[in-house]
Amino acid sequence: MNIALEARGLTKEFKGFVAVKDVDLTVERGSIHALIGPNGAGKTTCFNLLTKFLQPTRGTIIYEGRDITKLAPAEIAQLGMVRSFQISAVFPDLSVLQNVRVAVQRKRGESFDFWRSERKLSRFDDEARRHIDEVGLADFLHHRAVELPYGRKRALEIAATLALNPDMLLLDEPMAGMAQADVERISALIRRVAQNRTVLMVEHNLSVVASLSDRITVLARGEILAEGDYATVSRAPAVIDAYIGAGYE
Ligand SMILES: Nc1ncnc2c1ncn2[C@@H]1O[C@H](COP(=O)(O)OP(=O)(O)OP(=O)(O)O)[C@@H](O)[C@H]1O
């Protein structure tokens, strides 16, 4: 198998409470992989471990053959593994174009100087516009981020993330708080950006998970309950029990 990301024995304890326990996870390169589970299952903790926002108590994380267990989020971003939605700063008063341009500039290792003249910054425009086109925001180029409807704002965050040239995108609940029309638009967008990238997402919306994911890992009480495609995991008795036990219908 063509592996992008692998965790072995991943464990996180908070003062004796084991939030993630011995998780072995393999994410295939080029796939869309979802991490699901009832409330409190350990998804966010697991995601924070994989993206290096938390340090594991035990276990190893390998990205593209390289041990990243001890690296910082900025270091793994340099390696091509980028987390969206939480670190991707979108500046409310900057336009769509300006926001993505800042991200392009940042990737090229230049400092964040807002006071640079527009003329100097315009050399980043072509690349910024490509990312903006990719997420379907070409008609919103000069809108300020704060004026964008919620779903478009998320698309802007993805554009800013794409500017960092990720081979792997980690999405934390991309559909949270979205209206149905936005859910469809962002689903299509994730499918599009995943054509030549690997995607790992934590997502509560099971119909989105069903339609987008190649592979799903179900967590409950910090442990892996089941893994496979949606048809397989949704039929697994342990998964049904865990969701029903947690009050899901
Ligand atoms: N910093 C922390 N200190 C102590 N316990 C924590 C901490 N972070 C998470 N936990 C506990 O670990 C368990 C897993 O939490 P986590 O947020 O990872 O679950 P989740 O699957 O993302 O849940 P949800 O779907 O509700 O967001 C929970 O019981 C939570 O209370």
Residue 132, classified by CB atoms within 10 Å of its CB into exposed (0-12), middle (13-18) or buried (19+), is buried
The stretch 206-233 carries a mean pLDDT of 95
Q: Please name each of the domains of the chain with its CATH number.
A: 1-80+168-249 (3.40.50.300), 91-165 (no CATH)
Which residues are near ligand 1 (CB < 6 Å)? Answer: 14, 17, 19, 37, 39-45
Which residue, by CA, sits nearest to atom 26 of ligand 1? 39
**Tens of pLDDT along 130-146?**
999 988 999 999 999 99
pLDDT at 33 over 70: yes
Taking the C-alpha atoms of residue 67 and residue 79, their distance in angstroms, rounded to an integer, is 11
Ligand 1 centroid to Cα of residue 242, in Å, is 16
pLDDT at 86 over 60: no
**Tens of pLDDT along 154-165?**
889 989 988 888
ipTM of predicted assembly, 2 dp: 0.95
Q: Which atom of ligand 1 is nearest to the CA of 46?
A: 18
- DSSP states of 96-115 as a string? HHHHHHHHHHHHTT----TT
Residue 85's pLDDT band, with cuts at 50, 70 and 90, is: low
Taking the C-alpha atoms of residue 15 and residue 37, their distance in angstroms, rounded to an integer, is 23
Ligand 1 centroid to Cα of residue 20, in Å, is 9
